[in-house]
Structure 1
C-alpha cells in the first residue's frame, strides 16, 4: 500500500493522458473525476480506471480530441453529440451547459450520445449543488442486469445521482440499480479477491463468489422488480431519449470490438426560480436536523444521510492522502513509463 497526496495523483493522471495525446482540457477533467472518486471513497471508479482508458485510447476506440458539440438546443433542453470523446469531459460539458441555461429558464436537461464511461454520476450533480441548484445525472452501460423475471442481462448497472444544496454539505444520492456497482467486481478481480454471495450470478444464473464469473453473468438488482424498474427507466432517459441505444446494443468498456456508444442524461434545476434559495437551504437543513434527531435503530451508531459518508471521506483524505493498493499503484506507475513520467 502506498500513500499519495490527492493533487499529486491528479497531476500524474493528467500528465499521462496528455503525454498520450489527449486534449489537455479533456485530460484534466478525466483526472479530476478519477480523483474525486478516490476522495469520496469510490475507488472502484478512481485511478484504477486509468489502465482501461489508456488501452481504449491506444486501440483507437476513443477519440483523443475534444469532439463534443451541441446538435440541437432550446431554452431548457440540449442535445449533445460527444463524438466518441472521453466520457467525463462530455458529461461535464453537458452539466455546465445545463447550469448556465437553468439560471435563465429555471431548469435545463441534456442528452448526450456517442459517449464513453463517465466515472461517478455524483461528480456532475455536485457541480450543480455547488451553484445552488439541484443536479440530476444518469448514464447507461452495456447489459449487466437481468430484468426482473429474466435469466439473462439486458440493462446496464446504470447509475443515478441527485444532489441538492444545503447550508452545510449538499445531500448527494449516487447509486446503481444493482446490489453493487460493476466496478466492485472489476476491482475484486484485479486484487484477486472473492466477492460476497448476493452480488452476482454466473452465466447459468447461479450465485457466485468469483468476480470473473459474475462479470460474465449478471449483477443482482436491488429490491428485485424495484431495481429492475429503475434500470429500465435510466435506459429510457440515457439510451432511448438520447438516441444512444440500450443494453446489449452498446459495447463493453472491457471489450475492444467497438466504441462504447453510451448515452447520458443530465440536468440542473435552479432553486431560485421556485423558492428563495435561503428558504430552500433552511428548509433542507431543518429536514436534516429532524432526521438526525430520530431515535436510532438497534445497533445503529448514527443516522447517515445521502452523501455524508463521501463528504467525510473527502475531508479526511485531503489531510491524510490516498492509499493505493500495490496492484493499482504498479499498474498506474507502469502507464507513465513510456512517457518518462514517474509516480
Structure 2
C-alpha cells in the first residue's frame, strides 16, 4: 500500500491513512477501474471515496451491484465455450501446488461440491439453526424426526 505521503509501505496503519495498492500493479488497477465503472456509474451507485466503509455504522451505504447475463451463442458454440472453460479450469487444478496444500480449488468449487452432495442426500442443519427453528415446529405442529430430538 501507500502511506499518507504517497510512499510505499507495508504498515497497515499508514495504509489506512493513505491508499491500498491495486493487486498486480497496473493490470490490477485496470481491472479494478473497469469493475468500478460497471458497478458505480452504470448502477448510479457510489464511486471510489463515495463508498465509505461498509462496516461503519451511521453511514449511508452506496455500493452498487451489477449482474451481467451473457448470451453465449453470440460468441459461438456454447458447447465449445464450455469445453474450453473446462479445459482451462482443469489446467489450473493440475498446476504445481505448495507442499502444505491438498489441492488447487477454484473459487466457489467447495460450495458447489457440497451443494451437489447435499442435493443427493440431505442438507446439514447446524445445531444453532435447529435450536432457533424448533419453537416454530412446535408452534405449527410440525413433526420433528426422532434423530433431531437430542439437538
How far apart are the structure 2 equivalents of 1:283 and 1:228? 24
The alpha-carbon distance between structure 1 residues 222 and 311, as it changes in their structure 2 partners (threshold 3 A), is farther
> Contact (CA 8 Å) 2:2, 2:14: kept in 1 or not?
no
Deviation at 1:246, TM superposition (A): 1.7
SS in 1 for 2:49: helix
Q: Distance in 1 between matches of 2:95 and 2:63?
A: 43
* Larger Rg, first or second structure (1 or 2): 2
Matching residue within 263, 274, 297 for 2:97: 297
Contact 2:3 2:17 (C-alpha < 8 Å) held by counterparts: no
Equivalent residue in structure 2 for 1:321, among 115, 124, 148: 124
Name whichever structure is richer in helix by fraction: 2
**How many Å separate the matches in 1 of 2:22 and 2:126?**
30
Shift of 1:245: 2.7
What secondary structure is seen at the aligned counterpart in 1 of 2:76? Answer: coil
Partner of 1:149: 2
Contact kept, 8 Å, 1:271 with 1:277, in 2: the verdict is yes
Note the C-alpha offset of 1:224.
6.5
Aligned equivalents of 2:82 and 2:38: distance in 1?
A: 29
Q: What is the Cα deviation at residue 270 of structure 1? A: 1.0
Distance, in Å, in 1 between the alignment partners of 2:28 and 2:90 is: 33
Equivalence for 2:58: 256
SS of 1:282 mapped into structure 2: helix
Q: Is the 8 A contact 1:296 1:302 kept in 2?
A: no
**2:45 is aligned with 1:244:** yes
What pairs with 1:165-244 in structure 2 (closer than 5 Å)?
201=12, 204-205=13-14, 223=23, 225=25, 229=29, 230-244=31-45
Normalised TM-score (structure 1) = 0.28
1:266 aligns with 2:75: no
Q: TM-score, normalised by structure 2?
A: 0.52
- Helix, strand or coil at the partner of 1:245: coil
Per residue, is there more strand in 1 or in 2?
Answer: 1
Higher relative contact order (CA 8 A, sep 6+): 1
Closer/same/farther in 2, CA of residues 205 and 228 from structure 1, 3 Å limit:
farther
Question: What RMSD in Å do the two structures reach over aligned CA positions?
Answer: 4.5
